[in-house]
Amino acid sequence: MTRKGIIDEAMRVVLLCAGLASLSIVVLIGLFILRESLPAFHEIGVWNLLSGKEWRPGQGQFGLLPMIAGSGLVTLGAICLGLPLALCCGIFLAEIAPTWIRVVVRPSIELLAGIPSVVYGLFGLVVLVPAVRQIDYPGNAGFGLLSASIVLAVMILPTIASVSEVAIRSVPDEYRQGALALGSTRWEMIRRVVLPAARSGILSAVVLGLGRALGETIAMIMVIGNSVMMPTTMGGPLPGIFLSRARTLTGNIAVEMSYATGLHSSALFATGVVLFVLIMIVNSAARALMSRNVRGGRP
């Protein structure tokens, strides 16, 4: 074999190994968590775990519904607050901002992405919780879903903004020119041609944001109140539910893992599995959404 041939072959093997290694790490982690959680699934039952409203490890009650609701609601809140802002930010940076604004804003958004989540938690604790406490509502202590949603919205903003910016910028200029040449205003061009063309990229941005939101732990622990309870409106109107305390799936694991043993510990691993599955559902839902309009989109 020639020298070049050997290098070629060696590189192929190295890359293959790297690929296999990362795959096997994912599989191993999955298997490990699954194995640890098996006793819980076996003894408590999948349905009881998913639908149980009580989580009292001392009394052998392991219902994850309050945490599923907590994670779901706080993610919903964060997306509702953060997504519009982040998208506007991405559109602004990609399509509208003059260069000098772009060179100032883009690094600061990247900086935002680099701040450790515990710092966001501190910010929430010191600024948001007292502010939310001002809202006059029965049982409102400031700690709860609203504060957590706001913290989370800020945390996912940089991810969604920068990924969607990249997606929007990668839309070929020919589309823009075509749209403008037909007499579109700039906004019509953005809304009807550029954004639809960037749809799949924007959707991945949202999925990344969702993943980050579902997985966030420490900042949530600091501001959400951590009470194991089904979020409640406390007798008020529906939006009042966001003033309720709650606990997330991630928080559940992090708060209790240090002292859990036996079935309790296994139930926490099961919490991890539920989280894992939830993220997979979000991913595939996004994928399905992406392919739904494909006939009108990419071939």
Which residues contact another protein (rule: CB under 8 A)?
A: 172, 174-175, 177-185, 188, 192-193, 196-197, 294-299
Q: Shortest approach of another protein to residue 194 CB, angstroms?
A: 10
- The token pair at 165 is 């910016």
Q: Shortest approach of another protein to residue 168 CB, angstroms?
A: 14
Q: Cα–chain-centroid distance for residue 24?
A: 24
Length of the chain equals 299
Q: Shortest approach of another protein to residue 187 CB, angstroms?
A: 10
Q: Shortest approach of another protein to residue 145 CB, angstroms?
A: 39
Q: Are 173 and 128 in contact (CB under 8 A)?
A: no
Pick 68 or 197: Cβ nearer another protein: 197
Q: Tell me how far apart the alpha carbons of residues 268 and 246 are, in angstroms, rounded to a whole number.
A: 17
Pick 53 or 192: Cβ nearer another protein: 192
What are the Cα distances from residue 108, in Å, to 104, 105, 114, 208, 292?
Answer: 7, 5, 10, 19, 35
- The token pair at 155 is 């945390």
Q: Tell me how far apart the alpha carbons of residues 102 and 104 are, in angstroms, rounded to a whole number.
A: 5
Pick 69 or 91: Cβ nearer another protein: 91
Q: Shortest approach of another protein to residue 177 CB, angstroms?
A: 7
Pick 53 or 298: Cβ nearer another protein: 298
Pick 5 or 299: Cβ nearer another protein: 299
Q: Tell me how far apart the alpha carbons of residues 245 and 226 are, in angstroms, rounded to a whole number.
A: 7
Q: Are 249 and 275 in contact (CB under 8 A)?
A: yes
